Amino acid sequence: MKQTLFKRSLALLLVLVAMMAARQVVAADFQANVQTDIKVFRDFFAARFPEVKFADYANGVYAIDADACQQWKEIEEFPPYSIAVEDGKVLFEKPFANGKTYTAYFQNGGVVRQNYPYYDEKKGTVVTLEMAINECRVANGEKPLEYKGGDIAKISAYMAFISRGKPVDVKVESEGAYKAYMKGKEFFYAKRGQLNMSCAGCHVKYAGGWVRSEILSPALGHTTHFPVFRSKWGEIGTLHKRYGGCSDNIGAKSFAAQSEEYRNLEFFETVMSNGLSFNGPASRK
């Protein structure tokens, strides 16, 4: 009887060890796949724009357009987003009805931009900074803010400003995270809309090309500088507002800001920008 129980216990242990080993192999496989994607992505832009330093891709289109970059640097001396940053600081420090503030939810005084987006294992989904801001509000009895602009963009702008210089280092460390990453990757490369275009079509294949009077920005570094003040908007807006605008431009149906589709896309794009530094908020045309 004891031998039978011992054999069963040993068999169960061997099965558990085998399962753990299999999971480790799978984890190693998808981490290797992600690193391969990053290398291919980065090598493409290095070959396309050999004169551009890798770190400069955090500056978006201004990394590849010297004339526009000079004009942008002059604008940055008196940045149009400065008022939004100041407003965001006031909102960030303003107590909720229960007396708490965002600092009770966000560590390090709000210097956390570098921690987003990330895959939340318990929730089984990607969490972005704007999503976390609203989660903080709801947890403290406040109403969530509209995701495209307004107060949430101001709070995000302030948090981005005080987090400048922090490295982009998004991890893909689980099967769930890898699935979200792959969904974002598929979205990035899938063609859609009346123009049958993809994110990659504009910002990889045709990066540096002209669309009417504008130069198409490289996808590398896309997520490092948001939220942005756009002259076209006349205000500061979030990354997901920009995603919606891109969808409109190609005649595709846009998804809601902070939809799973856009959060996965942000996750993928940010992973591709690993090694750069967050430098938002920024100004754009």
What's the CA dihedral at 167, 159, 258, 264 to 10 degrees?
10
- H-assigned helices in the chain: 2-48, 66-76, 82-93, 129-139, 151-162, 175-189, 199-200, 239-249, 260-272
Among all chains, which residue has been given the structure tokens 């192999």? 25
Tell me the pairing of strands 125-127 and 214-215. Answer: unpaired
Is residue 202 annotated as a catalytic residue, yes or no? Answer: no
Q: Is 226 helix (H, G, I), strand (E, B) or coil?
A: coil
Nearest partner of 133 among 150, 170, 124, 174, judged by Cα: 150
Q: Tokens at residue 93, please?
A: 């420090």
Q: Please identify which of the residues 136, 199, 202, 246 carries the catalytic annotation.
A: 246
Nearest partner of 284 among 219, 192, 217, 221, judged by Cα: 217
Catalytic positions are 246
